[in-house]
Amino acid sequence: MPALMQTLKINLQIRERVLLSGLDWQIHAGQCWCVIGRNGAGKSTLLRTLVGMRKLESGQIFVGGKDLGSWSLPELARQRAFLPQGRADAFAYSAIETVLSARHPYHDAHYWESADDIAMARAALRELDVIDLAQRDVRSLSGGERQRVAIAALLAQDAPLMLLDEPANSLDLAHQVSVMQLFARLCREADKAVVMVSHDLNLTHRIATHALLLMGDGSWLAGEKEAVMTADQLSLCLGHPIERFEHGTQTLFLPAG
């Protein structure tokens, strides 16, 4: 089977600064990728480029073996879902209306949501522990509640590939852990694939199968997490000495000094 997403020699650049040079990368079903890099290394720029929101300087991106630019928007929305860092809610939609909007790519023959759409939306809200907020105006929610509604919409979109920019942002500790475990379970049990930007090395190492390090000078390193997330390579990537410790069954990363 073709990779869910593949990049061939892509280059990313902001003005004269090269963020990424010659990225050859494949994302397959069942994989959970963590994208790591210091501020300004190009992590969010990479995600926006992968979903088609930003023009590619050079190279090619394929989704399901087909060039990214050749997909129609509804077809593409059925293949990949995107959770950006921030959002602005201009209208008084309820939480469940917000989640139901993620079902629109499947409405080829009808406009209104079906009973199945509503059931999927409610299941997603329940999974994210916000079902009791279903009728609330999203503008009245706390940052963490709004983030969980956004993740519920991502689940309802039901795409095989999910690209997430700091999904645990604004969440309390319990929900950070439960959300990360949810994504790991979707990869493991539902054959989804996840590409996730995160600054929490410890939490992401627990759920990731693979890691992509953006070094900030155009260079990069990609592979299975145990080969990539070493103390030396993370120290170089993040611009600060990192120490790696084993504590029982867990791996911990701490800044040195």
**Residue 104 located in a structural domain:** no
**Residue 155 located in a structural domain:** no
**Residue 110 located in a structural domain:** no
pLDDT band at 248 (very low <50, low <70, confident <90, very high): confident
- The Cα 178–Cα 168 span in angstroms is 10
Do the strands 80-83 and 193-197 form a parallel or antiparallel pair, or are they unpaired? Answer: unpaired
* Residue 42's CATH number: 3.40.50.300
- The Cα 100–Cα 112 span in angstroms is 10
**Residue 185 located in a structural domain:** yes
Q: pLDDT tens digits, residue range 153-207? A: 999 999 999 999 999 988 999 999 999 999 999 999 999 999 999 999 999 999 9
Please name the residues in contact with 27: beta carbons below 8 A apart, sequence gap of 6 or more: 3, 4, 5, 6, 33, 161, 193, 195
Domain containing residue 173: 5-86+160-255
**pLDDT at 141 (0 to 100):** 94
**Residue 134 located in a structural domain:** no
**Residue 93 located in a structural domain:** no
**Residue 94 located in a structural domain:** no
pLDDT at 1 over 90: no
- The domain total for the chain is 1
**Residue 139 located in a structural domain:** no
pLDDT at 90 over 80: no
Q: If residue 10 lies in a helix (H) or strand (E), which one and from where to where? A: strand 5-14
- The Cα 211–Cα 238 span in angstroms is 14
